[in-house]
């Protein structure tokens, strides 16, 4: 709540310019770093060198990220030894890896430095830009609780993150959203909730959240946290 209150105007601006709800941006930053309280204590260059040359399973990936890191510090005119992040080289409030930083992070305060480490405005703008460029649809649903009919097609559950069916097709396979949806791309998910089995219909915006972290559990946590934060802010 305090992060939202302290950055209310910049969150409003980001929501208007990028179409991403403030509660989604706030939830992402909360999940990633507890609003900046845990951004990582490793020098990014050290982390990437270690993983790029002493971790064979993903060495190629981290060497590519090391190259991206050197490019970003040159572009941003920063000391490569001064920038801190996670043990895997993720940086700032939103935990961008170097390639994501160069592709999506933005200078939202026009001070000639994309400071996702210490400037919450740049972090907020960067998260919003990431979502927009990955296809976030303003004003559209994200995920909808669903019921199942007898004989529903179990093989469709959790069959990928990217929507590959349509709402109409899923209705014909025994999945019924609790609110009416226009026919659009969708997937169906089975999750284990506090009170047992839950069935959900994930739409394009849910898939966009998984582009930040390729996990339906992550995406659901972000969405539900955002909903709770928004309710608390409204005094519901």
The reported pLDDT for the residue numbered 48 is: 98
CATH number for the segment(s) 2-133: 1.10.8
User: Is residue 136 a contact partner of residue 209, using CB atoms and an 8 Å limit?
Assistant: no
* Whole-angstrom distance, CA of residue 52 vs CA of residue 30: 28
Structure tokens at 236: 């519901």
The reported pLDDT for the residue numbered 236 is: 47
The CA-atom distances, in angstroms, between 208 and each of 83, 116, 153 are: 28, 21, 25
CB atoms within 10 A of CB 236: 7
Comma-separated ranges of CATH 1.10.8 domains in the chain: 2-133
Comma-separated ranges of CATH 1.10.530.10 domains in the chain: 143-234
The CA-atom distances, in angstroms, between 121 and each of 11, 22, 26, 163, 216 are: 8, 12, 12, 32, 27
Contact residues for 160 (Cβ-Cβ < 8 A; gap 6+) = 187
End-to-end CA distance of the chain: 14
The reported pLDDT for the residue numbered 195 is: 86
Tens-digit pLDDT profile for residues 177-234: 999 999 999 999 999 988 899 999 999 999 999 999 999 999 999 999 999 999 998 8
Question: What class is the 143-234 domain?
Answer: mainly alpha
Residue 83 has pLDDT above 80, yes or no: yes
The reported pLDDT for the residue numbered 85 is: 98
Catalytic, out of 6, 9, 15, 32 = 32
Clarify whether 32 is annotated catalytic.
yes
Return the closest-CA partner of residue 93 out of 69, 128, 134, 62. Answer: 128
Tens-digit pLDDT profile for residues 111-167: 999 999 999 999 999 999 999 999 999 999 999 999 999 999 999 999 999 999 999
């Amino acid at each position: 709540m305090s992060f939202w209150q302290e950055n209310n105007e910049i969150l409003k601006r980001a929501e208007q310019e990028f179409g991403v709800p403030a509660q989604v941006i706030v939830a992402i930053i909360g999940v990633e770093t507890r609003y900046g309280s845990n951004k990582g204590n490793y020098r990014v260059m050290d982390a990437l060198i270690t993983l790029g040359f002493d971790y064979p399973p993903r060495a190629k990936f981290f060497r590519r990220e090391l190259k991206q890191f050197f490019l970003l510090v040159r572009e941003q005119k920063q000391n490569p030894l001064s920038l801190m992040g996670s043990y895997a080289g993720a940086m700032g409030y939103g935990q961008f890896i170097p390639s994501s930083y160069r592709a999506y992070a933005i200078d939202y305060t026009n001070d000639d430095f994309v400071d996702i480490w210490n400037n919450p405005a740049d972090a907020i703008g960067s998260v919003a830009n990431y979502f927009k460029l990955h296809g976030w649809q303003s004003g559209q649903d994200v995920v909808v609780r669903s019921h199942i009919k007898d004989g529903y097609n179990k093989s469709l559950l959790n069959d990928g993150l990217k929507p590959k069916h349509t709402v109409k097709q899923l209705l014909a396979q025994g999945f019924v959203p609790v609110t009416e949806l226009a026919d659009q791309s969708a997937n169906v998910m089975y999750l284990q909730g506090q009170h047992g089995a839950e069935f959900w219909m994930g739409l394009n915006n849910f898939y966009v959240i998984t582009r930040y972290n390729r996990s339906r559990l992550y995406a659901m946590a972000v969405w539900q946290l955002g909903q709770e934060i928004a309710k608390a802010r409204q005094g519901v």
